[in-house]
A and B are shown apart, each in its own frame.
Chain A
Amino acid sequence: MKRRITFSVVTALVTLGLAGLTACGSSGQGASSLDKDAKVSLTMWTGQTENSEKILEGLAAEFQKAHPNVSIDVSSGASSTDDLLQKLSAGFVGNSYPDISYAYGSWASELEASGRTLDITDRVAEPDVKWNEFPEGARLTARPTGKKTIGFPAIVDNLTLLYNKTVFDAAGVPYPTDQWTWDDLRAAAKKLTNPATSTYGYAYSVSGAENTVWKMWPQLWQNGGEILSPDQKTAAFDSDAGVKALTFLRDMAVTDKSVYLDQTDTKYEQLFRNNRIGMMASGPWVLYDLKTARTKYGVTLLPGTNGDHQTASGPDLWALFDHHDKNREYWAYEFANWLTSAAQDERWNVAVGNLPLRSSEVGSAAFKTQVKTYPGLDIMAANGANAKKVRPTVSGYVGLSQAIGAAISEVLQGRAEPKPALEKAATKANTALEAAR
């Protein structure tokens, strides 16, 4: 008897729990034909914090005012942009994911593979979208496998060379120019390095994360190398070009000892601000902190190889997701299109100190004001033209990045030789690429 009672109580509790769970899930079928005036509520995860999150909320409110039938729930979505990936994955499993989400470019192929993204290829081909105003790298990233366009570019940036004028002045070394070669950088770094004051000429990441990896791509490309084979199925970074690029860094780090090797990626920017590091390859995201710390800095192109100064870029996306509802699909697209148009982008990306998303914004008054606040921003924007190649968007890139990241960090710490380390990494990367297919 008692057992039966317990059983029924448990059943009741479980049923209650399940009912609660289903209530949280998405409700029913969406509209199958488009009605532009129907009430629509959208969810948007921005992955942003503080100021830039507030600006986006403001822009969404403005959009809702212009279209009263649309309501947009804007939130950061996760405590950090990195955590958004986990949230999205969990959201797909639980069938409750946003209409629009910020996404790192490196997630693009995973997101497309989920089958939950919209395909807006036809719509962005319309001339008034001015799709070609977005940098090429960003456009390619929004179309990770070349089949579907899964969203709009959200933020673009690229690597430039930042130098600390205080460190250069103290060592009496002339500032870097846009005519520099990598050998110029090496010679200067050597002169700037001073063990007595713990000052380093250059900084490089040895965490093995993507931060370690993408800072080597420009040199690989400048030497004529490629990350992947033309069919995108195998790794190609263990070429002579790759060995040359990594040997150069090894010589600086191990032979000259002129490089501060950051194990966790958390210190070098801080040390640069505090006049302990002379140069680093970085982008617009550090300008705000440099300004706050009143560091005297300068910005120029990355050093070149035979006059080729190409750089790597890191485009992020506003990914759009499918809820099998024509109305939501329509308005999610409309809002993302509106948000990334030149007029709105000036009020978000440019206002928070990012690079302008579209080439047409560079001449705008808003951008000119920002250049005054953050000197060097104009050089970074112009450097977008040097981002000639895109990081691969195949879904095995994560594994490839980890393999070569480990190799770079071993070599720079004097634990391996460039050629065998790269070859070993290429084998590992091939396994990862194979597994992801």
Chain B
Amino acid sequence: MTTTELSPAATAPSGADQPDRSGRRHDRWRAALTGWLFAGPATLIVLGLSIFPAGWAFVLSLEKWNGFSPPEFVGGKNYSRLITDAEFADAVLHTIIYTAMFVPMSVLAGLFLAVALNRRIRFIGIYRTAIFVPFVASAAATGILSTYLFSPQYGLVNNVLQRLGLPAQGWLEDPAQAMVVIAIMSLWGQAAFTTVIYLAALQDVPGELIEAARVDGAGSWQTFWRVIWPQLRPVTVFVTIWQTIGAIQLFDLVYTTTRGGPLNATRTIVYFLWDKAFRSLDFGYGSAAAYVLFAITLLTTIGVVVYSRRKNMEAF
């Protein structure tokens, strides 16, 4: 937005009849109009497609509405229902478990792959592309692929296990394993993202620092942890937040693989709210869950940003 800068005209005494300034005012007027003509359409889209629905969802979260009958105002009842709802608590727990598995794995995998790919070897372009391909595949495709790989009766993974003389697993049909499978599949799809970010950061590490470390007699392990890793810290904070926000919004992979099953073991917060809103036709309750999710995301982000500012990590 262009309104944040304090213009001299606003602070000057409002004597509009000063002839020498009228030309400049006219210019400024044109500049503002031009600015708004550029920013206007995007602002409208943001207002119309994000702010307005978000506001409406908040109103909905205070109502009982099935999408058809007239809505009924219930105040904070949907929120108090959420607090005592064991299903919602389970959904929160499943989301936390998934996040705790997925985020560290994707950050570490990204770091490892980036270091591995950050060297001059033959066909490096092919390797880099190969790592990036799963990221481009849609979650729907990843989901369908995982149902084929991890089907307990007919899947490829169990087939391989049996050839090796290992017991077949329940995978997506075992409540204890389903979330692990989903975390692995999202890692497969998402590791490329962290890899690319780390690759870029690695290439930003000044060569003279590494050279200086070598001259001082540091081994490659020492060079990595003492010189390169500290340089990567802001990027690590960034990808951690990014992946966490993505992880607590997990929905598409669950929808395409398990539909929240087996026995609700993979029901995440977003799946829960989708189920409540669009399958139980309880839009108010679903919106309340969405707002709780929004609060969690916001608090996580603020927490990490404040932490990194204090530590001077310049991630944001």
Contacts and interface: CB of A to CB of B under 8 A. Distances in A.
A47 to B, nearest CB: 16
Interface in A410-437: 410, 413, 415, 436
Nearest to B56: A93
Contact of B25 (A1, A114, A409): A1
Interface in B25-72: 25, 28-29, 32-33, 36, 40, 43-44, 48, 66-69
B18 interface: no
A92 B154 contact: no
Nearest to A16: B44
A263 interface: yes
Given A3-B10, A9-B33, A110-B68, A17 B44 contact: yes
A6 B36 contact: yes
Interface string A129-168: 0000000000000000000000000000000000000000
B153 interface: yes
Contact of B259 (A10, A260, A264, A399): A264
Contact of A263 (B7, B154, B261): B261
B262 interface: yes
B263 interface: yes
Contacts of B173: 261, 263
Given A6-B3, A110-B66, A263 B259 contact: yes
Nearest to A199: B153
A92 B69 CA distance: 10
B270 interface: no
A379 B32 CA distance: 75
B3 A413 contact: no
B10 A1 contact: yes
Interface in B64-123: 66-69
A390 to B, nearest CB: 20
B196 interface: no
Interface string A218-256: 000000000000000000000000000000000000000
A46 interface: no
A395 B25 contact: no
A428 B300 CA distance: 34
Q: Is the interface of A mostly helix, strand, loop or mixed?
A: helix
Contacts of B153: 198, 260
B80 to A, nearest CB: 15
B40 A114 contact: no
A119 B43 CA distance: 44
Nearest to B255: A264
Contacts of A208: 261
A267 B14 CA distance: 75
A395 B69 CA distance: 11
B138 interface: no
Contacts of A5: 29, 32-33
A393 interface: no
A41 B10 CA distance: 56
Contacts of A402: 279-280
Contact of B40 (A13, A198, A209): A13
3 closest pairs, A vs B, by CB? A89-B67, A114-B68, A198-B153
16 contacts: A2-B7, A2-B9, A5-B29, A5-B32, A5-B33, A6-B32, A9-B36, A89-B67, A92-B67, A110-B68, A115-B69, A198-B153, A207-B261, A263-B262, A271-B154, A415-B263
Interface of B: 2-3, 7, 9-10, 14, 25, 28-29, 32-33, 36, 40, 43-44, 48, 66-69, 147, 151, 153-154, 172-173, 257-259, 261-264, 278-281
